[in-house]
Amino acid sequence: MTSSTRVMFPRMPRGPRQDRRYLERPRQQGLVQQAVTEAFRKLDPRLAIANPVMFVVWCGTVLCLALTLDPRLLDAQAGARERGFNALISLTLLATLLFANFAEALAEGRGKAQADALRRTQARTQARRQMADGSIELVDSSALRKGDVVLVQGGDVIPADGEVIAGVASVDESAITGESAPVLKEAGSDVAGSVTGGTRILSDQLTLRISADPGKGFIDRMIALVEGAERSKTPNEIALTVLLAVLTQVFLIAVATLPPVADVLGQAPSVVTLVALLVALIPTTIGGLLSAIGIAGMDRVAQFNVIATSGRAVEACGDINTLVLDKTGTITLGNRLAEEFMPVGGHTTAELAEVALAASCFDQTPEGRSIVRLAEKLGAALPFTPEQATGIEFSARTRMSGSDTPDGIEFRKGAVDAIKGFVRSRGGTVPDELDACFEQVSRLGGTPLAVCRGHEVFGVIYLKDIIKPGIRERFDQLRRMGIRTVMLTGDNPITAGVIAREAGVDDFIAEATPEDKIAVIQQEQKLGKLVAMTGDGSNDAPALAQANVGVAMNSGTQAAKEAANMVDLDSDPTKLIDIVTIGKQLLITRGALTTFSIANDIAKYFAILPALFAGVGLEALNVMRLASPQSAILSAMVFNALIIPALVPLALKGVKFRPMSADQLLRRNLLIYGAGGVVAPFIGIKVIDLAIGALRLI
């Protein structure tokens, strides 16, 4: 889809993006209630075991509860005072577990609510299935299988995903895209040849070949994804899980070996105190919020009307180094318009307009139609009857289109080089002025299309390209984030260079063929870079599969959607930039909260260690001047529990993303979440200690 005369994305979304969200925002109150119930359900050890950090807390809670019920289980001298303290620690640990479960349940609940919104589009319907002998039978949509041929007509709900094999019709896709404007679907069209089950045909009739078995359609996959049913851990999550498990293991062994050391020092810390120390030391904050951050990342992508096939894809967006972007539709507005006719070889503008009209009468692209309009405005008339002529479609190989009349006259328009080759192959000569016109249009950043009739060149059509407003600023942002942008275009190098400079892309490839896309991606990947790209046509499918992040347009072919790891329901290629931002935000949020969680430990050492070894000269470490050893331990535990719900909004919303280099981001996050993670607990634990003293809890 890198042609110079075709429009890649004919249906650009309208209106502000926030107005086009198809997934309803679930009511917050209902979600919170569900999440609270779910938080208690997740106390089931079979579910708790999935999170190593929180499972250790779970085991500690069970132990503390047992010691609350009978404090003499481990210490024959223990009495009511110990029971009270054990009860407070048990409750605090239970709250820690519930808060972590709540965070995860809240994130999952938002996904489930979105899945319900999608499920409502999946009404079962009757379908007219065409049998091998041509007869039609009425069947339930659930009985349709891949390869079945069905007929749909005006008013019908399309029963399943399929490819249009005959007919032209307008389809209302608002059920999945939120876009009310109908979309034209037709057989043989690359970008308008696929339909989605659940959408409604408004007029005319289509013959479809079903492309997915029941339960495996586009909406089914979307439901499974937003619901989290197929959610598996991403590589980053796995790495972080290992790190957290290692830290937990180290602290478990360290705490388990403390009693003999304390015994030598003449101290006898209680088991509940040791459990409190363990829970304070292990990274419970990030352990409790880790899965919520991942689920929320998927949710944020879905809110942009983009469906990711996996969390891995969203996460990969955050590591992207190179963006490969098509010029048309992404950098420039999709519709280039004919601005001027520039005759050469002694021909007049009227003659050029007539030949341009003849070469464009079968061209239904916006460019083609704009050429027809401009020619007619200049008074040109078709020199033949359209019914008797044959349209020549544009192809990436020939890079020209046109028409052939029955008497053998060939009208062509296309890339200047292509037309030159065509004219010479027919024994004609190319006037010198053609190159001058070509350069003149190219320097203006426009696309020059040469026009010929047989072996005779008539001139150049100036197609004006309009760079999307604000795109330069977006590319500047990406550059600051260390992302390189490469523009692919079928245009000649001069035009491509002008557009690239104006748009501010880092590199461009002119006169690109579909194969060039794969070549560029492979070249970047060989350098160890991660590449993202968008595409919609079948010829984009190999490149979409090759790219680390491939975003297919919903208006695209089934092949493109299956090859990609994300589908944009709005079919807006510019959104790739937003998706990269969300991926970065996901990784930054995870990193920031991990930093905060680990930095938190420092204050807890100063709270619990002096309390644990109060009698052996470690009182000097009590820099917070906490009231008593028991109050210090309880304060650290309460802070540990409260910090989880305090960070839930940040985990779900994500750390605010600022476009800057990785080094700058690291410095900034270390300052805010590292230094903040060190300082905040000192203040928090001291305040809680004062509150415990005021309430006379201990």
| Binding residues vs another protein (CB under 8 A) | 49-52, 55-56, 59, 63, 72-76, 232-233, 238, 241-242, 245-246, 248-249, 252-253, 256, 271
- Compute the least distance from the CB of residue 561 to another protein, in Å: 27
Closer Cβ to another protein, 157 or 255, answer by number: 255
Closer Cβ to another protein, 229 or 246, answer by number: 246
Closer Cβ to another protein, 235 or 615, answer by number: 235
- Compute the least distance from the CB of residue 57 to another protein, in Å: 11
Closer Cβ to another protein, 82 or 578, answer by number: 82
- Pair type for strands 162-166 and 194-195: antiparallel
Enclosing H/E stretch for 160:
none
Give CA–CA dist 154/173, Å, rounded: 14
Closer Cβ to another protein, 49 or 229, answer by number: 49
Give CA–CA dist 616/258, Å, rounded: 14
List of E strands, 154-210 = 162-166, 168-172, 183-186, 194-195, 200-201, 205-210
Contacts 24+ apart (CB under 8 A), 219-222: 219/118, 219/121, 219/122, 219/176, 220/122, 221/307, 221/309, 222/118, 222/307
Structure letter (DSSP) for residue 72: G
- Compute the least distance from the CB of residue 75 to another protein, in Å: 7
Q: Which of 509, 512, 473, 469 is nearest to 490 (CA)?
A: 512
Q: Is 186 buried (19+), middle (13-18) or exposed (0-12) by CB count in 10 A?
A: middle
Give CA–CA dist 500/617, Å, rounded: 69
- Beta pairing partners, 184: 170
Closer Cβ to another protein, 73 or 381, answer by number: 73
Enclosing H/E stretch for 666:
helix 662-669
Closer Cβ to another protein, 249 or 661, answer by number: 249
Which two structure tokens, joined as six digits, stand for 178? 């939120």
CA within 13 Å, CB half, 242: 6
Can 326 be counted among the known catalytic residues?
yes
- Which of the following is catalytic: 148, 190, 326, 516? 326
- Compute the least distance from the CB of residue 271 to another protein, in Å: 7
- Compute the least distance from the CB of residue 278 to another protein, in Å: 10
List of E strands, 273-312 = 306-308
Closer Cβ to another protein, 74 or 444, answer by number: 74
- Compute the least distance from the CB of residue 602 to another protein, in Å: 23
- Compute the least distance from the CB of residue 209 to another protein, in Å: 38
Handedness of CA 167, 168, 171, 177 (dihedral sign): positive
Q: Is 646 buried (19+), middle (13-18) or exposed (0-12) by CB count in 10 A?
A: middle
Relative orientation angle of helices 575-612 and 662-669, to the nearest 10 degrees: 30
Give CA–CA dist 77/64, Å, rounded: 17
- Compute the least distance from the CB of residue 248 to another protein, in Å: 6
Handedness of CA 559, 563, 567, 573 (dihedral sign): negative
List of E strands, 28-175 = 126-130, 136-140, 149-153, 162-166, 168-172
Torsion angle of alpha carbons 43, 49, 55, 61, nearest 10°? Answer: 40
Closer Cβ to another protein, 474 or 590, answer by number: 590
| Catalytic residue ranges | 326
